[in-house]
């Protein structure tokens, strides 16, 4: 019961406060995240040949980009 409550609490915290974060250093510019993000949060950036994340608030914390990114360059924090 206690662990259940604790993990429910954690779940709440995650969904309320987390959003996507992008690590430019690691990113290879494969654009997989652009392929899978359902709300257009990760967009291609022709200038740097990587991506840009102009509006983090759009992120619905679905985790698709984090799961698919081959470089581990994205995280929900």
Partner 1 sequence: MATTFMKYLETTPADYDRGIKIITLGQIQGIQERIAEFVQPGDRVLEIGCGTGSLALLCAKRGAKVVGIDTSPPMLAEAQKKVKAAGMEHRIELRLMDATTIADHSEPASFDLIVSTLVLSELEENTLEYVLEACGRLLKPEGRLLVADEVVPDGLLARLLFYLVRLPLALITWLITRTSTTALHGFPQKLALAGFKGRVVTSRLGGSLQLFSARPATAPRAISAPEVPRLRHRVTLWTLLKDLYCLLWRNIPPYPKVRTGLYRIGEPDCSSPVLVTGNYDLTVRRVVRELDGQVDAWLLVANSKGINVWCGAGGGHFTAENIIAAIKTSGLADVVDHRRLTLPQLCANGVKGKRIEQETGWRVRWGPCYARDIPAYLERGQRKTDAMRWVRFPLPARLEMAVVMWQFWAVLLAVILIIVRRPLVIPALLSSLAMFLFIGITWPWWPTRDGLLQGVGLALLSIALLAGWSITVGHLSPRPLFNWCVALGSLGLFAGADFQGASPFMRAGEAEHFWKLVPIGLLILAVYLFLPRTLGW
Out of 43, 45, 47, 64, name the contact with ligand SF4 by CB under 6 A: 64
**Six token digits for residue 2:** 């206690």
Report whether 4 contacts 44 (CB < 8 A). no
Local structure of 22: helix, strand or coil: strand
> Residue from 21, 29, 45, 75 that binds ligand SF4 (CB under 6 A)?
29
Q: Is 75 in the site for ligand SF4 (CB under 6 A)?
A: no
**Residue 71 binds: one of ligand SF4, partner 1, none (C-beta under 5 to 8 A by kind):** ligand SF4
Are the CB atoms for 24 and 76 separated by under 8 Å? Answer: no
Residue 45 sits in the site that holds ligand SF4 (CB under 6 A): no
């Amino acid at each position: 019961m206690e662990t259940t409550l604790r993990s429910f609490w954690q779940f709440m915290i995650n969904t309320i406060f987390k959003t996507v974060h992008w690590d430019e250093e690691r990113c290879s510019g494969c654009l997989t995240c652009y392929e899978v993000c359902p709300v257009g949060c990760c967009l291609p950036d022709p200038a740097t040949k990587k991506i840009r994340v102009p509006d983090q608030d759009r992120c619905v914390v679905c985790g698709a980009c984090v799961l698919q990114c081959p470089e581990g360059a994205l995280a929900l924090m």
